[in-house]
Amino acid sequence: MLNRNSITRERIAAMEPRIRPFVRHTPVLRVDMADFGRPPLAVDLKLECLQHSGSFKARGAFTNLLERPVPKAGVVAASGGNHGAAVAYAAMRLGHKATIFVPEVSPPAKLERIRAYGAELVVGGARYAEALVASEDFAEKSGALQIHAFNQEETLVGQGTLGLEIEADLPELDTLLVAVGGGGLIGGIAAWFAGRIRIVAVEPEGAPTLYRAFEAGQPVDAPAEGIAADSLAPKRVGEMMFPIAEAFVERSILVSDDEIIAAQAALWDRVRIIAEPGGAAAFAAILSGRYAPAAGERVAVLVCGANANPAKF
């Protein structure tokens, strides 16, 4: 297990200017929850859904490709879709070959994006865990560099640059709600803030990976079901992120599929933001009332992915 002190603010700050030419500084939108039928409350939405490749994953992908030597065989990744799209995009920008393994649950919108970036796409297995095994076999046989979606130091450091950016955008922030699958995103962000703000995890009821890990005191297998199974259901959180989460994540809140769907619809209906289920999960916590801010609390929600079919909205 990685010592949490290995993912430091210094490493994240040093990495940010290296990936800056390749990633967007995504905008923040302040909304009033009264517009969503809730009591009045100003909430800042960090729209990382507008990042290259449609999610925050581009940050970790570019960090890996810039920090680690890439062999002639290129790179390989397993993904529910967003990590694969990000690795494919980063490989295309930097001139490397990419092979992406995804499970059958991955939606067409994500598969189309991966193909559009020129990667070789392999679809197989019911869930992410099976795609991961296939990608590991491919890496061993081909010599390709494996880029893990969340259990990789460079991935955590790259996602941590989003924490740096959020602090620059919202210096008075008290609380940040972040969706969790494997935990690379919340691990990197929590490492950056290091307890200086409240970090709250949000997970689907059908895939309570961090929730179960907190209960057990270590990463353990959890169900991998529900509407966000393509992005928030990797079976268990990463060994590398868990010490960071134990130190700096206050708790995990579970939301239902219906609450996630309602959050997707509300984001589209009220502010014309398209978010995939995993991207809307954190907003579901505040829209549903499962997270209730205190009076005067400055709250931000990370909208982290937009790889959904626009026709559904």
Q: Which residues contact 49 (CB under 8 A, 6 or more apart)?
A: 26, 55, 273, 274, 275, 279, 303, 304, 305, 306
Residues 138 and 160 in one domain: no
φ, ψ at 148 (rounded to 5°)? -75, 145
The predicted structure's pLDDT at residue 97: 97
Residues 104 and 232 in one domain: no
The predicted structure's pLDDT at residue 201: 98
Residues 304 and 247 in one domain: yes
Query: 108 is in which domain, residue-wise?
Result: 72-143
Q: What is the pLDDT of residues 130-141, one digit of tens each?
A: 898 999 999 999
> In angstroms, rounded to a whole number, what is the distance separating the alpha carbons of residues 22 and 19?
5
Task: Output the CA–CA distances (angstroms, integers) from residue 207 to 18, 189, 237, 296, in the order listed.
Answer: 34, 21, 10, 32
* Number of neighbours of residue 124 by Cβ within 10 angstroms: 11
Residue 199 per-residue DSSP state: E
Does pLDDT of 64 surpass 50? yes
Residues 282 and 162 in one domain: yes
Residues 167 and 304 in one domain: yes
Residues 158 and 134 in one domain: no
Residues 228 and 281 in one domain: yes
Q: Is residue 243 part of a domain?
A: yes
Does pLDDT of 235 surpass 90? no
Q: Is residue 4 part of a domain?
A: no
- Confidence class for position 282, pLDDT limits 50, 70, 90: very high
Residues 157 and 256 in one domain: yes
Q: Closest by alpha carbon to 33, among 306, 312, 288? A: 288
Q: Closest by alpha carbon to 149, among 135, 165, 166? A: 135
* pLDDT, mean of residues 110-117: 92
Residues 287 and 194 in one domain: yes
- The domain boundary, picked from 116, 143, 170, lies at 143
* pLDDT, mean of residues 13-25: 98
- Whichever domain contains 253, its CATH number is 3.40.50.1100
Residues 252 and 106 in one domain: no
The predicted structure's pLDDT at residue 274: 95
Residues 186 and 259 in one domain: yes
- Confidence class for position 1, pLDDT limits 50, 70, 90: very low
pTM for the whole structure: 0.94
